């Protein structure tokens, strides 16, 4: 292949991020390195991939056509890496997994028991993270696998699979909270009251909610705050059923709630999981669980 993998990755990331500078930050490269890599790719292909006349580069019609082929090449490379690891039967001495509180506690219990039986000599570290924290830990190589609320677009170095089960999210308040006795509520009315929300997104420049709020890095801590009557909060229903005292939290009856939430398992394509990581990934996808339906990889 006469096109360097670095140039192909720089191209895909620039499209995903919307600019060369953002792609450089994500790939931990200088902007000039990304610009040069894309310019060299354009020279090798003999086409213009980006219109650079605007403030931000815009994908050309030719670039749109090239993009799908480049994505297929990178995906094939990822599958080849995974095959090589599989053929070598490499089992990691240590595996770090970023757990989301949205995972059903029953699934987690079965996963841990099964992993212990299958890989008793592999050191297992369970981290807690949500949203951008999960991506950050994977991209830095701090973790090998992670769970995240499903989204349409991921960085080019992140592989993803959709879990077969959906999580249900509800909006809860403490039984003694004034909202607990309200009927016929509309979601917009909640903004007059304190919201308890995740701060992982806020820490990276995300916009805060419309009303007053307190924040925490995970749903379990938010649940504890909600039980104390400190505000209203969107929480995984299974988490509430597992960890809140019966009657401590009341679900608010709002149009569209509770709502279903899809979850993806993620990994770093540059550091593909070994035998233990693939087992954990397959368990989450239902391969090792009776009655669960597997999910197609992407």
Bridge partners (DSSP) listed for residue 78: none
Could you tell me if residue 228 is inside a domain? yes
Contact between residue 158 and residue 226 where contact means Cβ atoms under 8 Å apart: no
What residues form DSSP beta bridges with 148?
264
Tell whether 120 is covered by a domain.
yes
* 148 and 112 inside one domain: yes
CB 164 within 8 A of CB 170: no
What mean pLDDT, rounded, does the chain reach? 87
Q: For residues 80 and 24, what is the distance between their CA atoms, to the nearest angstrom?
A: 26
Model pLDDT, residue 179: 94
Asked if residue 114 is part of any domain, the answer here is: yes
Is residue 27 situated within a structural domain? yes
Q: How far apart are CA 95 and CA 154, in angstroms?
A: 22
Confidence of residue 298 (pLDDT cuts 50, 70, 90): very low
Instruction: Tell me, yes or no, whether 236 and 249 share the same domain.
Output: yes
Same domain, 51 and 197: no
Instruction: With a cut of 60, say whether residue 189 has pLDDT above it.
Output: yes
CATH of the domain at 27: 1.10.10.10
pLDDT score for 258: 94
Q: What is the CATH number of the domain that holds 127?
A: 3.40.190.10
Same domain for 100 and 82: no
Same domain, 220 and 272: no
pLDDT, tens digit, 9 for 90 and up, residues 193-210: 999 998 865 444 455 566
What's the CA gap between 232 and 235, in Å, rounded?
A: 9
Residue 286: pLDDT band (50, 70, 90) is: confident
Domain with residue 250: its CATH number is 3.40.190.290
* Final residue before a domain boundary, out of 34, 59, 86: 86
- Do 24 and 63 belong to one domain? yes
Residue 290 in any domain: the answer is no
Tokens, residue 171: 């909006």
298 occurs within a structural domain: no
Kindly state the tokens that stand for 287: 């391969």
The answer to whether 159 touches 78, Cβ cutoff 8 Å, is yes
pTM: 0.66
- What does the pLDDT read at residue 289? 56
**Residue 177 and residue 244 in one domain:** yes
What is the span of the domain harbouring residue 40?
5-86
Q: At what angle do helices 275-284 and 61-88 cross, to 10 degrees?
A: 120
Do 53 and 181 belong together in one domain?
no
271 and 151 share one domain: yes
If asked whether residues 145 and 273 sit together in one domain, one would say yes
Residue pair 174/227 in contact by the 8 Å Cβ criterion = yes
Residues 172 and 254 in one domain: yes
Domain stop point among 64, 86, 108: 86
Q: Is the pLDDT of residue 73 over 80?
A: yes
Q: What is the pLDDT of residues 142-188, one digit of tens each?
A: 999 999 999 888 888 899 999 998 899 999 999 999 999 988 889 99
Residue 224 in this model has a pLDDT that exceeds 70: yes
User: Of 52, 86, 120, which residue constitutes the final position of a domain?
Assistant: 86
Total domains in the fold of the chain: 3
191 in any annotated domain = yes
**246 and 183: one domain?**
yes
């Amino acid at each position: 292949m006469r096109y360097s993998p670095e140039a192909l990755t720089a191209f895909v990331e620039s499209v995903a991020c919307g600019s060369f500078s953002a792609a450089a930050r994500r790939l931990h490269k200088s902007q000039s390195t990304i610009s040069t890599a894309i310019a060299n790719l354009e020279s090798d292909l003999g086409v213009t991939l980006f219109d650079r006349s605007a403030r931000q580069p815009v994908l050309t019609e030719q670039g749109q056509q090239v993009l799908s082929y480049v994505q297929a090449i990178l995906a094939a490379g990822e599958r080849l890496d995974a095959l090589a690891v599989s053929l070598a039967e490499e089992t990691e001495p240590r595996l770090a997994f970023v757990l989301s509180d949205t995972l059903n506690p029953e699934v987690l219990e079965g996963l841990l028991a099964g992993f212990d039986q299958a890989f008793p000599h592999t050191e297992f570290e369970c981290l807690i993270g949500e949203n951008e924290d999960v991506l950050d830990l994977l991209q830095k190589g701090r973790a090998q696998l992670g769970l995240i609320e499903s989204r349409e677009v991921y960085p080019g170095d992140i592989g993803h699979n959709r879990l077969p089960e959906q999580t249900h999210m509800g909006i809860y308040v403490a039984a003694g909270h004034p909202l607990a006795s309200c009927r016929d509520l509309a979601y917009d009315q909640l903004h007059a009251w304190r919201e308890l929300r995740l701060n992982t997104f806020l820490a990276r420049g995300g916009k805060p909610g419309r009303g007053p709020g307190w924040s925490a890095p995970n749903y379990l801590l938010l649940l504890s705050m909600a039980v104390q009557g400190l505000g209203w909060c969107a929480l995984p229903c299974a988490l509430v059923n597992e960890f809140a005292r019966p009657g401590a939290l009341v679900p608010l009856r709002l149009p569209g709630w509770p709502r279903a939430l899809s979850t993806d398992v993620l990994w770093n394509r540059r550091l593909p999981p070994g035998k233990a990581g693939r087992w954990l990934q397959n368990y989450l996808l239902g391969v090792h669980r009776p009655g669960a339906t597997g999910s197609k990889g992407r």
